[in-house]
């Protein structure tokens, strides 16, 4: 299917005979594969007698060579999949199998994309970015402190560089545009955090998605915000470069070096919120974050800090 898709991705008409000759199958086999492409990948393919087949819109697929051509600085090994359960899951598998880090896992589509607290991450084919960077961490919990917040800052700067306006951060790891989600971040660990471990920085960015009725929250995409289609290969290269810069600074100085700039980007600074931990709810006012990336809340006139992967933050006036 991928060979056929690569022939059609230019958005031009191609005859069934030419497509069959290019991939070594009959015209009827081409027709069956095109039906499968439409059903499996939710693509629209126009069929016009005498002209052939045409994708409804040109498609740019992820490509390691194209990413390298856009790249500046260190280039990480990259594994690109047409379909995978989850780029984070594959990153964890490769790390456990001995793949040397850092390395990058990308996919055109995820069949079981994951968000925080077990939520599904909707992952349509070739529209968005499903990105997992695997890093080795040697003997230092300090290297993990505030890491998801640092990743959020890096993503925010990349989006701004592509012309996305009014972008900001929500603790601990969402990137929003005027209250609509554009990026989610999921960090996962394998190994011993006190000795040697691997951390997977999972980043999902809504890039060229323009309609999707499966997403259960308000969302937007880079294309909706800028009005232009985004080259995902260029986006990957820009994200790689920004992460290299921010991660080096984090390793050297810790999260405290990012505290002030994260608070400047915090969309909920000073807002009345509810912090949900299982069945427990804590109401307070957002004061910012501490030097380890924990959430600072004023609760009944007293400042308290909270951290943990299972916490959920909501606006109190948010219906």
Is 116 marked within a binding site? yes
The residue annotated as part of the active site, out of 116, 170, 223, 296, is 116
Instruction: Report the C-alpha gap between 5 and 8 in whole angstroms.
Output: 5
- Whether 181 is catalytic: yes
268: its two tokens: 């909920």
CB 186 within 8 A of CB 88: yes
Task: Tell me the residue length of the chain.
Answer: 319
- Whether 117 is catalytic: no
Q: Which helix (H) or strand (E) holds 38?
A: helix 27-41
CB-neighbour burial class of residue 205 (10 A; exposed 0-12, middle 13-18, buried 19+): buried
Is 226 marked within a binding site? no
Instruction: Report the C-alpha gap between 115 and 126 in whole angstroms.
Output: 19
The residue annotated as part of the active site, out of 109, 170, 181, 232, is 181
**What is the SS3 string spanning 136-189?**
EEECCHHHHCCHHHHHHHHHHHHHHHCCCCCEEEECCCEEEECCEEEEEEEEEE
- Whether 116 is catalytic: yes
Is 86 marked within a binding site? yes
Query: Phi and psi dihedrals of 146, rounded to 5?
Result: 70, 15
Is 28 marked within a binding site? no
Is 88 marked within a binding site? yes
Strand partners, 295: 289, 306
Instruction: Report the C-alpha gap between 52 and 46 in whole angstroms.
Output: 8
Is 304 marked within a binding site? no
82: its two tokens: 């047409």
The residue annotated as part of the active site, out of 32, 165, 249, 314, is 314
Instruction: Report the C-alpha gap between 43 and 36 in whole angstroms.
Output: 10
User: Which residue ranges make up the annotated binding site for biotin?
Assistant: 86-88, 110, 114-116, 181
User: Which residue ranges make up the annotated binding site?
Assistant: 86-88, 110, 114-116, 181
Residues marked active site are found at 116, 181, 314
């Amino acid at each position: 299917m991928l060979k056929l898709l690569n022939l059609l991705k230019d958005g031009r008409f191609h005859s069934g005979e030419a497509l069959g000759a290019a991939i070594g199958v009959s015209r009827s086999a081409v027709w069956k594969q095109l039906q499968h492409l439409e059903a499996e990948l939710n693509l629209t393919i126009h069929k016009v007698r005498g002209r052939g087949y045409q994708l409804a819109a040109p498609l740019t697929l992820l490509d390691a060579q194209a990413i390298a051509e856009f790249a500046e600085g260190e280039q990480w090994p990259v594994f690109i999949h047409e379909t995978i359960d989850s780029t984070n899951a594959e990153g964890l598998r490769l790390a456990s199998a001995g793949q040397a880090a850092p390395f990058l896992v990308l996919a055109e589509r995820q069949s079981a994309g994951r968000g925080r607290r077990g939520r599904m991450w909707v992952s349509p084919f070739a529209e968005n970015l499903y990105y997992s960077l695997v890093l080795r961490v040697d003997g230092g919990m300090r290297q993990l402190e505030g890491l998801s917040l640092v990743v959020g800052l890096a993503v925010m700067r990349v989006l701004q560089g592509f012309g996305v306006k009014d972008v900001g951060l929500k603790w601990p790891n969402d990137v929003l545009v005027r209250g609509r989600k554009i990026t989610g971040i999921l960090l996962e660990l394998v190994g011993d955090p006190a000795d040697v471990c691997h951390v997977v920085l999972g980043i999902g960015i809504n890039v060229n998605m323009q309609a999707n009725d499966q997403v259960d929250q308000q969302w937007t995409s880079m294309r909706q915000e800028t009005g232009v289609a985004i080259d995902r290969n260029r986006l990957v290269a820009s994200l790689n470069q920004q992460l290299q810069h921010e991660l080096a600074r984090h390793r050297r100085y810790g999260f405290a070096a990012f505290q002030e700039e994260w608070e400047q980007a915090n969309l909920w600074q000073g807002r009345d919120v509810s912090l949900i931990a299982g069945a427990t709810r804590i109401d307070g006012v957002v004061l910012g974050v501490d030097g380890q990336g924990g959430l600072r809340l004023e609760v009944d006139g007293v400042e308290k800090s909270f951290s943990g992967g299972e916490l959920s933050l909501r606006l109190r006036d948010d219906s």
